Chains A and B, each alone.
Chain A
Amino acid sequence: MWYLCVFYHRLLDYRRPEVESLAELFGAFEAAGEGIGGPPPRSLEWRLPENHHIDSPFHFVSLPSEEIARNIAKRSILVKGMYELWGQGSSYEELEKAIRDFPDEKKLPYLTSESTFRIIVDSFGKVISFQEQNERIQGLSYIPFKGRVDLRSPDHKFYLMETDNYGSNNGLPPIVQRAIFFGREVGAADRKLLPTYQLKSRKYLGPTAMDAEIAFLMANQGLAQPGKLVYDPFVGTGSILVAAAHFGAMTMGADIDIRVVRDGRGPDCNVWSNFKQYNLPMPISLLRADNNLPPWRPGLREVFDAIICDPPYGVRAGGRKSGGRKLLKGIVGPYTVPEEKRIDHIPSTAPYSLAECMHDLLDLSAKMLVMGGRLVFFYPVVREDGFTNAELPEHPCFTLVASSEQILSLRYSRYLLTMVKTGPYTEEIAESARKKHLEFKENHLKWLEDGNLHSAVFSPADPQISLSGKSKFDRDSKPKYRGKYV
């Protein structure tokens, strides 16, 4: 069945992948007879209205049932609503004809005299005044509404949505023709969710706490739900796990910084209090551990259903790993802590290169995720000349199902990558990971220099290039409507 899926005009790359993930979560692919073991990536069928481009808020999506459409809309962050389309047109005459042609047996059950209803007029790229809205609603009198109007909690909500040829706006490609949609709301997003969880009212925050909207998107990509175990190896203040716990998942987190996981800012301002604040179940486990040398027992495999994280990639916060400061000077050799100082010794840590961090994350995930489990994480990419040349990390155990770009500045973006574990963690893979681990250790300094994202993002532009009038980071090279929030 086709549904009109209307998105918020935000985080454009994230919108369809989120619906696809939620479709998986709510069993859209099981109904199609593909079963849980079917080979991912499984995807939905999508269509765009005529003359609309991919960044338009109006999309059509094929889903097996109204219930699945409703569930997706209710849980989604970027879907404004899902609608059963009763008619569309480029003029109100065309719309009327389409609605009249829409079969009565689909319309009449929602127009009965016992039911209450409401009509909402919405628009994209234009403003419709209150008076015009009323005129448009009056204009729908050819639909035989028998029920009573109830603005507060109607049984059925109908939407009249309009978008016009608004020309190109901030670089957003124009929709060349006016389009009007009329449909019955099947499900809508929970608009209280983000205000409830917004970071400015969160008790314990760190400098890189994950924005609530993105954290929920990540939890959706990771299919967080009751009975599932979600792990964040870079837990920090727990902002990603809070989102996963909101959806009922059990959570576990580790961090190399003991002050963050253990102490916070006092007894009522720490990772635990962030969960208490929203009445969420506490994480099953918080511990201090190094992602480079995880303390999991050797035989432990396939325990997590999802690993969701924002690895430190050295732009706002750099990663650390164990091994001591001497690694900085390239000294790998013996480093002994005197016997009398062992008990209260506080080990120093070494910087952790992005490449090594990614290698460790993929290896850990391959080992510790169940088959079909998901790895969801951010990966930074340097932008040049307004384009991103992304070489995304790969692993034989994983299939990439979504990569969504968020442009953070002229110089760099981050991609939210969603990977599904599709292959077993074999002895060969384990062996090559062990070799790579040693390679990273022995060539610590080289890896640190090669992957230095901080300088690529923050170093001043090459003066010679800017003098010639052609900056490497041309301000016009990015479509203006694309940015941090879209």
Chain B
Amino acid sequence: MRLLTHNMLSCNIKGVSNGFPLRLEAEKWVEKEVELNADFLRGIFPKIEWKALAGAARALGYNELPDEADASMLDADDFLRRFHHALLELHVEEGALVCPETGRRFPINKGIPNMLLHEDEV
């Protein structure tokens, strides 16, 4: 699971109102190089919850993202590369996503987050 996915997911248990961002508990993660596509990054930037991305990156030991970011920073290659690295090149293989409200753990196994709810959470 890459951090782009983390940025899009929330806990959707019935009745939960603050299910985002999910706390990232990573046990194993890897870096994989991905070709940088600037158009894609510029297009996706406005959809990203920056604080959640920076926080998740820090949880994986990557501290190069600023606390805040705005669209004007996309013109700088250096920023674009860091954004790209955090968003697409860090892969969580094993761990869990934890709901900030209920503490429910959504396991991440072989890189696949399991977001399916139990029968009584629907």
Contacts and interface: CB of A to CB of B under 8 A. Distances in A.
B43 A227 contact: yes
Interface in A215-245: 226-229
A232 to B, nearest CB: 14
Contacts of B88: 284
Interface in B1-60: 1-2, 4-5, 7-12, 19-21, 34-35, 37, 39-40, 43-44, 47, 49
A288 interface: yes
A290 B34 contact: no
A130 B7 CA distance: 63
B118 A227 contact: no
A32 interface: no
Q: Which range contains the number of B residues in contact with the other chain?
A: 35 or more
Contact of B40 (A229, A288, A293): A229
B40 A250 contact: yes
Contacts of B1: 285, 287
A336 B4 CA distance: 33
Interface string A328-368: 00000011110000110101100000000000000000000
B122 A297 contact: no
A337 B119 CA distance: 7
A288 B10 contact: no
B11 A295 contact: yes
Contacts of A336: 120
B19 A345 contact: no
Contacts of A303: 8, 44, 47
Contact of B122 (A261, A285, A293): A293
B115 interface: yes
A384 to B, nearest CB: 37
A322 B119 contact: yes
Nearest to A252: B5
Interface stretch (B61-69, B70-78, B104-112): B104-112
A208 to B, nearest CB: 20
A296 B10 contact: yes
Nearest to A227: B39
A356 to B, nearest CB: 14
Nearest to A256: B116
A258 interface: yes
A286 interface: yes
A296 B17 CA distance: 13
B112 A261 contact: yes
A297 B117 contact: no
B113 interface: yes
Contacts of B8: 285, 296-297, 300, 303
A302 B47 contact: yes
A298 B49 CA distance: 12
Given A297-B8, A326-B119, A258 B44 contact: no
B120 A287 contact: no
Nearest to A264: B110
Contact of B12 (A263, A284, A294, A302): A294
Interface string A140-153: 00000000000000
A369 interface: no
Q: Which of B20, B21, B43, B112 has the most CB of A within 10 A?
A: B112
Contacts of A262: 109-112, 114
A323 interface: yes
A297 B119 contact: no
A302 B45 CA distance: 12
Interface in A287-314: 287-290, 293-298, 300-303
Contacts of A424: none
Given A262-B109, A287-B1, A297 B49 contact: yes
Contacts of A154: none
A173 interface: no
B116 A258 contact: yes
Q: Which of B88, B109, B120 has the most CB of A within 10 A?
A: B120
Contact of B116 (A228, A300, A322, A337): A322
B112 A284 contact: no
Contacts of B21: 297
A386 to B, nearest CB: 42
A281 B10 contact: no
Interface of B: 1-2, 4-5, 7-12, 19-21, 34-35, 37, 39-40, 43-44, 47, 49, 88, 105, 109-120, 122
Given A227-B39, A285-B4, A290-B116, 17 more contacts: A226-B37, A226-B39, A258-B116, A261-B112, A287-B1, A287-B113, A287-B114, A293-B122, A296-B8, A296-B9, A322-B117, A323-B122, A326-B119, A334-B120, A337-B118, A347-B117, A348-B119
6 contacts: A258-B114, A284-B2, A288-B114, A296-B8, A324-B119, A345-B118
